[in-house]
Chain A
């Protein structure tokens, strides 16, 4: 009788999965449990012949079920601050408990400047290799972080520290503003403030974790890059006897933890890396590797700090020393030299002597080139009145301060130059305008002037690199408002390279703009890159002589894209962008490292087997201006399915219990059949399975692969010594609690 009751109990348990039951449940749309489970702790470890110790830690987020982890580059790629050689991943196995070291990982894609790295689980913690396709880990999906708005509520998730009880933690926060940079535009950083009762500040170990919007989609990566070299006692942790002297003291390695985080790197920057990894594509630049640009090795520095109210094509519109009340945009411009992707810089802003966390930028990696003009723009937030002081720190050391800026009062009608534009001219013929010009004899600079008065002394200074090449100074004789131009010329043609025009009024810098001369003059755009093409070849040598292709039917293991170039000065910033079906999977801005003229710059797009079908496109840019592009169609010319889409659904988990003893049944296998099959169709063929799992020593089980909404599944539980339990038509929908916990009683038979 008891057994019969238990059997009915089991059936009732399975019935709980039916739509009628499930619809009665109210589920949260924001799946915090899944987010927490997808949040991992990444440890960089250094292994010596006698011991292993942790060198750096950060949070990370699983973004695919096969074990791709999105995190920071500074804590994973070996560098002077993080000298480890192995990456270990700790999973959030139990809610509210410390993470458990489970896997080794390797870096498969990274952008050190953007401080983004994509890791892949490569082995179990004991070193046993894993087959990624067989892994079924909880993961989150991404949304564009640039879609965030001011005052949006977000949830920031990561690990607060390294002590034993530090479990994955979620903190509520609000978007406070945005910080712009030339690389990334106005929303290169999203600034936020914690409004959580748990932690008033987001700890440094959260760096590399995730920030989620209301739909539970990953929109940003909380980021800071602590400096181990200069970490204070509170910003690092000593918990290992790294020198093996039997003591844990000041002479042991201090693992940098970093200070409070108030900035997110929007997830948009990570999408190309994830696409590339998901497609199994590897991009290499053999030509660049042969003659890599050699960093100077000099100490990075910044200079010439000034403010502008806005930026146009990454150039300041004008130079200001005050702003009226109600302003919501401010740009700090400065020159930089000898910077590398490993350089860490920080902006500290004080308003009337008080530090402003909203406007300050925590220590972050450098995402620009080696030298040039850079800006940090505060946008999307109203600037309170007061005196602003901006201080820049490079590698933890004060590197420059801008003159104080006053915000408040009404607009002051100061004499001003603004909006410098450049034009390449030969005689009366115009060959191009903008900030990238071809080689030619004359460059005109056109600018707008306001509030000028007769007799004011104004000066135009032209620079080539850092060297002054021309100067003109005279008393103002035109009207108060209008447009004016000045020019620089060289009958032999201006040399390729970076130029600058600085305009002064009465010795005060009023406007400034850079432009690049590269390539030969043509119509609207200079001819910098030519003969761009895709080819199909087995290696780089064959690629150099292969005929250009616009389509290939059978996807090869590699395709190459090549181009020639004219008159590019070494060190000039250029951008290479690769796309498949209009989705960017490679985007790199770097300094030109080849000679001024040449041919056969080669880019290899490769895969272990065959590159996926699709339409591939290469774009070549300078100063954000598209100069050339070319395409090739591979296979059917489009990705066969959306490989970036991941199914959403409900995670099923629970416990399998012996009805007589009440104890969990260990090591039992539970099957979920694909929707095409019912229980009666099952012939024990793995092709019929949607997923299967095995219970652990307590009888607990979980299916990592989520049940898709409104799809009818069949469940089979068959264990030696127990009556089998089978059910058809198991359906979940958006209203089903997620994860769905069930208890299943088995009857001995």
Chain B
């Protein structure tokens, strides 16, 4: 049997059609990636002129109002312990050190948080000029409703102490131990946007 093939060049219209298809695909991928990023990294601005703080937190996080807390947001869509960021402003006088605040917080948290334990205390550069004190800690989160069968979660937290004249800005980040490393990027982005 003899098979005969005849090569035939694509017409100009066909060639343009191929190019446009490729361009549309690239565009679609680009827009899709953009939409994904917009959804993932969408942020909501927060400004507190009384305290002098500006920050951006993830858009779909629940903005809570907790007495004594300047900003309190958490990811309610996250199953398990809600990843949480909050900011408090603590009084600070010349005779005090950050260490005093850490100890005071520890005294209160050992009452409020089951199995509270400080993992490490370190210092880290923050922004251009500041040196911050970082406290990593862990505790067990047990939700309050006694009528539901809830499994306590092991939580890792990080406190960032930023000294500002006679105040200390305490930025706290807490997340389930299983997702802490993954969620930490959110906290880093939050800190990058924090203006005080």
Q: Do A and B come from one complex?
A: yes
Would you call A542 an interface residue if the criterion is a C-beta within 8 Å of the partner chain's C-beta atoms? no
| B60–A684 CB distance below 8 A | yes
Would you call A135 an interface residue if the criterion is a C-beta within 8 Å of the partner chain's C-beta atoms? yes
| B146–A103 CB distance below 8 A | yes
Contact A129 to B63, CB < 8 A, known contacts A697-B149, A702-B148? no
Contact A126 to B62, CB < 8 A, known contacts A103-B146, A700-B149? no
Q: Which residues of A contact B111 (CB under 8 A)?
A: 127-129
| A686–B64 CB distance below 8 A | yes
| A719–B77 CB distance below 8 A | yes
Cα(A102)–Cα(B148), bound, Å: 12
Would you call B144 an interface residue if the criterion is a C-beta within 8 Å of the partner chain's C-beta atoms? yes
Would you call B50 an interface residue if the criterion is a C-beta within 8 Å of the partner chain's C-beta atoms? no
Taking the nearest CB of chain B, how far is it from the CB of A198, in angstroms? 24
The proximity string for A residues 111-126 relative to B, scoring 1 for CB distances below 8 Å and 0 otherwise, is 0000000000000101
| A700–B148 CB distance below 8 A | yes
Stretch at the interface among B1-9, B10-18, B78-86: B78-86
Would you call B113 an interface residue if the criterion is a C-beta within 8 Å of the partner chain's C-beta atoms? yes
Cα(A719)–Cα(B79), bound, Å: 7
| B82–A669 CB distance below 8 A | yes
Would you call A687 an interface residue if the criterion is a C-beta within 8 Å of the partner chain's C-beta atoms? yes
Which listed residue, B59, B78, B144, B146, touches A93 by the CB 8 Å rule?
B146
Q: Which residues of A contact B61 (CB under 8 A)?
A: 684
Which listed residue, B62, B63, B148, touches A696 by the CB 8 Å rule?
B148
Q: Which residues of A contact B81 (CB under 8 A)?
A: 667
| B78–A720 CB distance below 8 A | yes
The proximity string for A residues 79-92 relative to B, scoring 1 for CB distances below 8 Å and 0 otherwise, is 00000000000010
Which listed residue, A667, A686, A694, touches B62 by the CB 8 Å rule?
A686
Q: Which residues of B contact A683 (CB under 8 A)?
A: 44, 63
| A696–B64 CB distance below 8 A | no
Would you call A693 an interface residue if the criterion is a C-beta within 8 Å of the partner chain's C-beta atoms? yes
Cα(A694)–Cα(B150), bound, Å: 9
Q: Which residues of A contact B151 (CB under 8 A)?
A: 666, 697
Q: How large is the interface on B (under 10, 10 to 19, 20 to 34, 35 or more residues)?
A: 20 to 34
The proximity string for B residues 137-173 relative to A, scoring 1 for CB distances below 8 Å and 0 otherwise, is 0000011111111110000000000000000000000
Taking the nearest CB of chain B, how far is it from the CB of A697, in angstroms? 5
Q: Which residues of A contact B144 (CB under 8 A)?
A: 124, 130, 134-135
Taking the nearest CB of chain A, how far is it from the CB of B154, in angstroms? 14
Q: Which residues of A contact B146 (CB under 8 A)?
A: 91, 93, 100, 102-103
Taking the nearest CB of chain B, how far is it from the CB of A624, in angstroms? 44
| B65–A704 CB distance below 8 A | no
Majority secondary structure, B binding face = loop
| B142–A704 CB distance below 8 A | no
Would you call A718 an interface residue if the criterion is a C-beta within 8 Å of the partner chain's C-beta atoms? yes
Which of B80, B114, B146 counts the most chain A CB atoms within 10 A? B146
Taking the nearest CB of chain B, how far is it from the CB of A724, in angstroms? 9
Cα(A571)–Cα(B19), bound, Å: 107
Cα(A10)–Cα(B80), bound, Å: 23
Cα(A128)–Cα(B144), bound, Å: 11
Taking the nearest CB of chain A, how far is it from the CB of B174, in angstroms? 15
Q: Which residues of A contact B78 (CB under 8 A)?
A: 720
- 8 Å CB interface, B64-103 against A: 64-65, 76-82
Which partner residue on chain B sits nearest A126 by CB separation? B114
Cα(A684)–Cα(B76), bound, Å: 9
Q: Which residues of B contact A685 (CB under 8 A)?
A: 62-63
Cα(A668)–Cα(B76), bound, Å: 8
- 8 Å CB interface, A682-734 against B: 683-687, 692-698, 700-702, 704, 718-720
Which partner residue on chain B sits nearest A684 by CB separation? B62
Which partner residue on chain A sits nearest B108 by CB separation? A129
Taking the nearest CB of chain B, how far is it from the CB of A101, in angstroms? 9
Q: Which residues of B contact A102 (CB under 8 A)?
A: 146
Cα(A103)–Cα(B146), bound, Å: 9
| B79–A124 CB distance below 8 A | no
Interface residues of A, count at CB 8 A = 40
Contact A91 to B147, CB < 8 A, known contacts A684-B61, A720-B78? yes
Q: Which residues of A contact B145 (CB under 8 A)?
A: 136, 693-694, 696, 702, 704
Cα(A516)–Cα(B49), bound, Å: 68
Taking the nearest CB of chain B, how far is it from the CB of A709, in angstroms? 23
Q: Which residues of A contact B142 (CB under 8 A)?
A: 124, 126, 128
Q: Which residues of B contact A130 (CB under 8 A)?
A: 144
- 8 Å CB interface, A509-533 against B: none
Q: Which residues of A contact B129 (CB under 8 A)?
A: none
Would you call B37 an interface residue if the criterion is a C-beta within 8 Å of the partner chain's C-beta atoms? no
The proximity string for A residues 665-688 relative to B, scoring 1 for CB distances below 8 Å and 0 otherwise, is 111110100000000000111110
Taking the nearest CB of chain B, how far is it from the CB of A104, in angstroms? 12
Cα(A136)–Cα(B78), bound, Å: 23
| B65–A687 CB distance below 8 A | yes
Q: Which residues of B contact A694 (CB under 8 A)?
A: 143, 145, 148, 150
Taking the nearest CB of chain B, how far is it from the CB of A572, in angstroms? 47
Taking the nearest CB of chain A, how far is it from the CB of B59, in angstroms? 8
| A128–B112 CB distance below 8 A | yes
| A720–B77 CB distance below 8 A | yes
Q: Which residues of B contact A684 (CB under 8 A)?
A: 44, 59-63, 76
| A686–B143 CB distance below 8 A | no
Cα(A685)–Cα(B44), bound, Å: 11
Q: Which residues of A contact B60 (CB under 8 A)?
A: 684, 718
| A702–B147 CB distance below 8 A | yes
Taking the nearest CB of chain B, how far is it from the CB of A531, in angstroms? 42
Q: Which residues of B contact A686 (CB under 8 A)?
A: 62-65
Which listed residue, A91, A134, A136, A698, touches B149 by the CB 8 Å rule?
A698
Cα(A719)–Cα(B82), bound, Å: 12
Which partner residue on chain B sits nearest A701 by CB separation? B148
Cα(A16)–Cα(B42), bound, Å: 35
Q: Which residues of A contact B79 (CB under 8 A)?
A: 665-668, 719-720
The proximity string for A residues 644-671 relative to B, scoring 1 for CB distances below 8 Å and 0 otherwise, is 0000000000000000000001111101
Q: Which residues of A contact B63 (CB under 8 A)?
A: 683-686
- 8 Å CB interface, A565-621 against B: none
Which partner residue on chain A sits nearest B148 by CB separation? A696
Taking the nearest CB of chain A, how far is it from the CB of B98, in angstroms? 25
Q: Which residues of A contact B62 (CB under 8 A)?
A: 684-686
Q: Which residues of B contact A696 (CB under 8 A)?
A: 145, 148-150
Which partner residue on chain A sits nearest B63 by CB separation? A685
Which of A93, A684, A704 counts the most chain B CB atoms within 10 A? A684
Which of B64, B76, B151 counts the most chain A CB atoms within 10 A? B76
Cα(A695)–Cα(B150), bound, Å: 8
| A669–B80 CB distance below 8 A | no
* A-B pairs with lowest CB-CB distance, top 7: A696-B148, A102-B146, A667-B79, A669-B76, A686-B64, A667-B80, A696-B149
Jot down 21 A-B pairs with beta carbons below 8 A, ordered by A: A37-B147, A102-B146, A124-B144, A128-B114, A135-B144, A665-B79, A666-B80, A668-B79, A669-B76, A669-B77, A669-B82, A686-B63, A686-B64, A694-B143, A694-B148, A694-B150, A700-B148, A702-B147, A702-B148, A720-B77, A720-B78
Binding site for B on A (CB under 8 A): 37, 91, 93, 100, 102-103, 124, 126-130, 134-136, 665-669, 671, 683-687, 692-698, 700-702, 704, 718-720
A686-B64, A686-B65, A702-B148 known; 13 new pairs, CB 8 Å cut-off, are A93-B146, A102-B146, A126-B142, A128-B114, A129-B112, A135-B144, A666-B80, A684-B44, A684-B59, A684-B61, A700-B149, A718-B60, A718-B76
Binding site for A on B (CB under 8 A): 44, 59-65, 76-82, 111-114, 142-151
